[in-house]
Amino acid sequence: MYRAGKQEIDAIARVIRSGKLFRYNKNGDGECQRFERRYARRLGVKHVLQTSSGTTALTAALAGLGIGPGNEVIVPACTYMATAVAVLAAGAIPVIVDVDASITLDPLALERAIGPRTRAVIPVHMWGLPCDMRAIMRVARRHKLLVIEDACQAVGGAYRGKMLGTIGDAGAFSFNFYKNMTCGEGGAVVTNQARAAQRAACMIDCCAFYWKGRKSSVVPFISNGSRASELEGAMMNAQLDRIDGIVRELRRQRQRILDATRDCGLTPIPLHSPGDDCGTHAVYQLPSADQADAFAKAVGGTVVGKTGRHVYTEWDPIFRKQGAHCAALNPFRLPQNRGCRMTYRKTMCPRSLDILNRTVMIALHPDRKAKDVAALIRKILQAAANIL
Ligand SMILES: Cc1ncc(COP(=O)(O)O)c(C=O)c1O
């Protein structure tokens, strides 16, 4: 969480005083509906559906687009496990593919990995860094793949002037505690496709979809509930007023750090859309993993490959093929998925492991004082002089 205060407290208090915490008690003027309208306008997208988390947003996006058993979905070797989890929750099989030096999905590796069962790809804008969407969209068009952007870590970011999450067929955002906008826990699915939006709405709240949407052309189906509450909607409305200021300050700080460390021998990570990303981190690539370890220790940064949860080697439930709570529903065992590729080895993406273990990110905060940024810059310069 970056910023929250009086506006959020007042917004939540208003909802509690009104006694109307359920999102359907309203005639189009509830907090969730207002957030969905405002966020859609800000993103320039037709449909926004608020959910309970980024994971349920991703699952609703996949199911909304009709992805399920029999389909493979390509995911990058560097992401939170929830990306692959959502693919399994939709009944499909995740195929893990290398990232490149940008620590986002490598478009060449994506194209090489496409097989007869591949139906979709999930580019993940990790740590607010946009993927190479132009190249990824080209590959997707050539091979008729659906594109679901995982923008859970990229709220407020853009790529070549287009908001992240709106470039592919659908996008998913997380509003959990660690994200650029937060209501503690939450998420949203976005899409321009009416049918996908209807199906996603059914995934998010199938009972309400059934009671309210009987005239819909989408036949209601059964799903888990992941409806957002008015408390979350109220907090998101307050957060939406803050996001521009947060991202502006993060980008400004990051630029100041990159400018000041330009000539010290450090290599900043290549950016696909410089100036458009969220600027949540200053990221450098070191020549060796040992140097990356030493640099991270000296500057208070984190080696991307060693966060303990963002590299495919740490996704044990997937390696163990524990794809559901019971065998009959486990996508790894479904007859429809028999032709899908599902052999995972910890050594299968050595290039990603090499890159991620040499990449160090330094987290920024929009409320960091100028003198603290200056101190951080001094630390980075000193560490570079000692280590390179
Ligand atoms: C890249 C990515 N995808 C998906 C998720 C899942 O979001 P949530 O925790 O809101 O379910 C996260 C959460 O951290 C994430 O970082």
Query: What gap in Å lies between CA 354 and CA 352, rounded to an integer?
Result: 5
Q: Are residues 162 and 35 in the same domain?
A: yes
Element (H, E) at 93: strand 93-97
How much distance in Å is there from the Cα of 264 to the middle of ligand 1?
34
CB 191 within 8 A of CB 62: no
Structural domain ending residue among the three candidates 220, 242, 264: 242
Structural domain ending residue among the three candidates 185, 217, 242: 242
Q: Are residues 23 and 153 in the same domain?
A: yes
Query: What is the residue-level pLDDT of the chain in tens, covering all 388 positions?
Result: 789 999 999 999 999 999 999 999 767 789 999 999 999 999 999 999 999 999 999 999 999 999 999 999 999 999 999 999 999 999 999 999 999 999 999 999 999 999 999 999 999 999 999 999 999 999 999 999 999 999 999 999 999 999 999 999 999 999 999 999 999 999 999 999 999 999 999 999 999 999 887 777 899 999 999 999 999 999 999 999 999 999 999 999 999 999 999 999 999 999 999 989 998 999 999 999 999 999 999 999 999 999 999 999 999 999 999 999 999 999 999 999 999 999 999 999 999 999 999 999 999 999 999 999 999 999 999 999 999 9
Structural domain ending residue among the three candidates 191, 218, 242: 242
Q: Are residues 149 and 226 in the same domain?
A: yes
Nearest CA, atom 8, ligand 1: 54
Task: Give pLDDT, residue 157.
Answer: 97
Q: Are residues 251 and 202 in the same domain?
A: no
Task: Give pLDDT, residue 286.
Answer: 98
One-letter amino acid identity for 288? S
How many domains does the chain contain in total? 2
* Domain ranges, residue 238: 6-242
Q: Are residues 237 and 249 in the same domain?
A: no
Query: What gap in Å lies between CA 62 and CA 83, rounded to an integer?
Result: 11
Q: Are residues 249 and 231 in the same domain?
A: no
Please indicate, yes or no, whether the overall pTM of this predicted structure exceeds 0.85: yes
Q: Are residues 145 and 277 in the same domain?
A: no
114 Cβ contact list (under 8 Å, min separation 6): 74, 139, 143, 145
Task: Give pLDDT, residue 2.
Answer: 81
With a Cβ cut-off of 6 Å, ligand 1 is lined by 53-55, 79-80, 82-83, 124, 150, 152-153, 174, 176, 187
Neighbours of 332 (CB within 10 A): 16
Length of the chain: 388
Task: Give pLDDT, residue 25.
Answer: 72
Atom of ligand 1 nearest to the CA of 125: 1
How much distance in Å is there from the Cα of 369 to the middle of ligand 1?
29
How much distance in Å is there from the Cα of 55 to the middle of ligand 1?
6
Atom of ligand 1 nearest to the CA of 187: 10
Tell me the two tokens of residue 152.
């859970």
Is the residue at 158 inside a domain?
yes
Is the residue at 338 inside a domain?
no
**Could you tell me the CA-to-CA distances from 332 to 74, 85, 319, 320, 348 in Å, in that order?**
15, 12, 11, 10, 19
Q: Are residues 159 and 25 in the same domain?
A: yes
Task: Give pLDDT, residue 204.
Answer: 98
Q: Which residues of 290-313 are buried (b: 16+ CB within 10 A; e: fewer)?
A: ebbbbbbebbebbbbbbeeebbbb
Q: Are residues 139 and 216 in the same domain?
A: yes
Query: What gap in Å lies between CA 331 and CA 343, rounded to an integer?
Result: 14
Cα dihedral sign, 284-285-286-288:
positive
Q: Are residues 262 and 217 in the same domain?
A: no
How much distance in Å is there from the Cα of 387 to the middle of ligand 1?
34
Question: CATH number, domain at 119?
Answer: 3.40.640.10
DSSP symbols for 89-128: HTT-EEEEE-B-TTSSB-HHHHHHH--TTEEEE--B-GGG
Residue with tokens 């970011």: 157
One-letter amino acid identity for 40? A
Task: Give pLDDT, residue 256.
Answer: 97
CB 114 within 8 A of CB 91: no
Is the residue at 144 inside a domain?
yes
In 3D space, the residue among 285, 281, 264 whose CA is nearest the CA of residue 383 turns out to be: 264
Candidate of 80, 148, 281 to mutate for ligand 1, largest count of ligand atoms within 8 Å of Cβ: 80
Is the residue at 326 inside a domain?
no
Q: Are residues 222 and 265 in the same domain?
A: no
Q: Are residues 267 and 376 in the same domain?
A: yes
Question: CATH number, domain at 251?
Answer: 3.90.1150.10
Is the residue at 145 inside a domain?
yes
How much distance in Å is there from the Cα of 231 to the middle of ligand 1?
20
